[in-house]
């Protein structure tokens, strides 16, 4: 079974697919406390309120995926910024392990914490992998990061493809369309064994207008339409070639009603992992049975779960040996002492 992981930056599930909140008790409250260093400031008295819950979902494609699939809560560990969030989600490691605490990626250990696609390749060197992203920090060696390993040898051989958006003429709106167009073609015509596709439009709208705004809701609907293109691409692979696919959708954080994230509010810590199998009759039951009884996840649990669902067993070795030990900066994160904030 092949894997398509779709990353939607900054999407609130209570707007995208409100019905999902009733599918798992774990959505009610975080499963672990936040670090006091990243506590939110008191809410301003004039902060906007979120619209009343209920009504039509902003993401009809995600709703349809949910009907034939399953959803699990994912509680992010602050800081709820995109760099730490995606580094943890895509590598299966904590902030302390990958040392990504901010979007600048200063001092990261990503070379030691391989991403999901690389773990698939390491398990089977014949695997073909693909990633496309609006945010270059996830896929481009010349920027911060990247979270997705370059694996230049595999790129030269065509086994590993990376694409970063270049069309920002309309901000993330045009960049997301560019990513969608390219990713849908590769998925449909080449069918990589594991793929990751990332869209940033909802996060851009959340920062500009706030989660309580109609613009943010419209942006969620727009990225949901991009998801539809990708789902259609792999569904045709099954329809015509019989390839089975596991589609997974995840976000790195929500947004405050007035916009922004990074601290420990429940609205920004609450994420989700939506799972849907494209395959023969009984595929929806297969997904639901495989994750039945699974408690709320943390961000570092997502990659191991996805690998398990597609049957990839990572290589193991015992800790405590001398390999890799050297004097290094401890992975304890920032002190929040403003003298050291730049």
* Least confident span in 51-65, 77-91, 244-258, 259-273: 51-65
Structure confidence by residue, pLDDT tens digits, 185-227: 999 999 999 999 999 999 999 999 999 999 999 999 999 999 9
- Banded model confidence at residue 257, pLDDT cuts 50, 70, 90: very high
| pLDDT at site 327 | 64
Average pLDDT for residues 318-335, to the nearest whole number?
Answer: 70
- Banded model confidence at residue 172, pLDDT cuts 50, 70, 90: very high
Q: Is the pLDDT at 175 greater than 60, yes or no? A: yes
Report d(CA 91, CA 95) in Å as an integer. 10
Alpha-carbon distances of 275 from 72, 113, 264, 339, rounded to whole Å: 8, 24, 26, 44
- Banded model confidence at residue 320, pLDDT cuts 50, 70, 90: low
Mean pLDDT of all residues in the chain?
Answer: 94
Which tokens in the block code for residue 59?
């993401």
Selected from 3.40.720.10, 3.30.420.10, 2.130.10.10, 3.10.450.50, the CATH number assigned to the domain covering 2-33+57-79+114-268+301-314 reads 3.40.720.10
Question: How remote is the C-alpha of 285 from its chain's centroid?
Answer: 24
Residue matched to tokens 């976000």: 251
Share of the chain above pLDDT 70, in %: 96
| pLDDT at site 333 | 85
Q: Is the pLDDT at 336 greater than 90, yes or no? A: no
Question: What DSSP designation does 191 have?
Answer: -
Average pLDDT for residues 6-22, to the nearest whole number?
Answer: 97
Alpha-carbon distances of 142 from 62, 88, 136, 148, rounded to whole Å: 33, 21, 9, 12
Share of the chain above pLDDT 90, in %: 85
Type and span of the H or E element at 132: strand 129-133
Contacts of 124 (CB under 8 A, 6+ apart): 193, 312
Report d(CA 88, CA 299) in Å as an integer. 6
- Banded model confidence at residue 22, pLDDT cuts 50, 70, 90: very high
Between 163 and 327, residue with greater pLDDT: 163
Nearest CA to 230 out of 245, 219, 242 is that of 245
Burial of 341 (0-12, 13-18, 19+ CB in 10 A): exposed
Structure confidence by residue, pLDDT tens digits, 97-147: 999 999 999 999 999 999 999 999 999 999 999 999 999 999 999 888 999
| pLDDT at site 55 | 78
Which tokens in the block code for residue 222?
């727009």
Alpha-carbon distances of 245 from 209, 240, 242, 275, rounded to whole Å: 36, 13, 10, 11
Radius of gyration of the chain, Cα coordinates, nearest whole angstrom: 19
Alpha-carbon distances of 145 from 111, 140, 248, 263, rounded to whole Å: 9, 8, 23, 22
Nearest CA to 118 out of 147, 89, 85, 145 is that of 147
| pLDDT at site 143 | 81
Q: Note whether 4 and 193 are within 8 A (CB).
A: no
- Banded model confidence at residue 318, pLDDT cuts 50, 70, 90: low
Q: Is the pLDDT at 64 greater than 90, yes or no? A: yes
| pLDDT at site 183 | 98
Average pLDDT for residues 163-183, to the nearest whole number?
Answer: 98
| 3-state SS assignment for residue 265 | coil
Between 326 and 84, residue with greater pLDDT: 84
φ, ψ of residue 149 to 5 degrees: the values are -60, 145
For the chain, what are the domain ranges? 2-33+57-79+114-268+301-314
């Amino acid at each position: 079974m092949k894997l398509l992981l779709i990353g939607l930056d900054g999407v609130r599930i209570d707007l995208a697919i409100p019905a999902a909140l009733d599918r798992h008790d774990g959505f009610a409250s975080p499963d672990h406390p936040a670090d006091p260093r990243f506590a939110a400031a008191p809410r301003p008295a004039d902060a906007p309120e979120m619209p009343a819950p209920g009504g039509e979902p902003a993401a009809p494609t995600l709703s349809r995926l949910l009907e034939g699939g399953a959803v699990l809560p994912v509680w992010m560990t602050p800081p709820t910024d995109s760099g730490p969030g995606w580094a943890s989600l895509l590598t299966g490691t904590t902030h302390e392990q990958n040392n990504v605490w901010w979007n600048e990626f200063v001092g990261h250990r990503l070379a030691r914490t391989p991403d999901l696609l690389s773990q698939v390749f390491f398990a089977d060197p014949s695997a073909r992998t693909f990633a496309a992203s609006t945010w270059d920090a996830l896929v481009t060696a010349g920027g911060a990061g990247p979270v997705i390993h370059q694996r230049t040898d595999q790129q030269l051989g065509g086994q590993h493809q990376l694409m970063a958006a270049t069309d920002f003429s309309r901000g993330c709106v045009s960049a997301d369309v560019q990513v969608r167009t390219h990713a849908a073609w590769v998925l449909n015509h080449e069918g990589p064994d594991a793929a990751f596709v990332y869209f940033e439009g909802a996060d851009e709208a959340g920062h500009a207008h706030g989660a309580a705004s109609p613009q943010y809701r419209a942006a969620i609907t727009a990225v949901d339409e991009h998801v539809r293109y990708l789902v259609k691409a792999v569904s045709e692979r099954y329809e015509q070639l019989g390839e089975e696919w596991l589609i997974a959708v995840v976000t790195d954080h929500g947004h405050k009603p007035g916009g922004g994230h990074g601290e420990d509010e429940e609205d920004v810590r609450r994420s989700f992992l939506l799972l849907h199998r494209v395959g023969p009759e009984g595929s929806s039951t297969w997904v639901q049975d495989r994750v039945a009884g699974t408690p709320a996840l943390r961000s570092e649990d997502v990659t191991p779960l996805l690998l398990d669902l597609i049957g990839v067993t990572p290589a193991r070795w015992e800790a405590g040996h001398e390999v890799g030990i050297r004097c290094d900066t401890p992975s304890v994160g920032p002190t929040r002492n403003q003298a050291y904030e730049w």
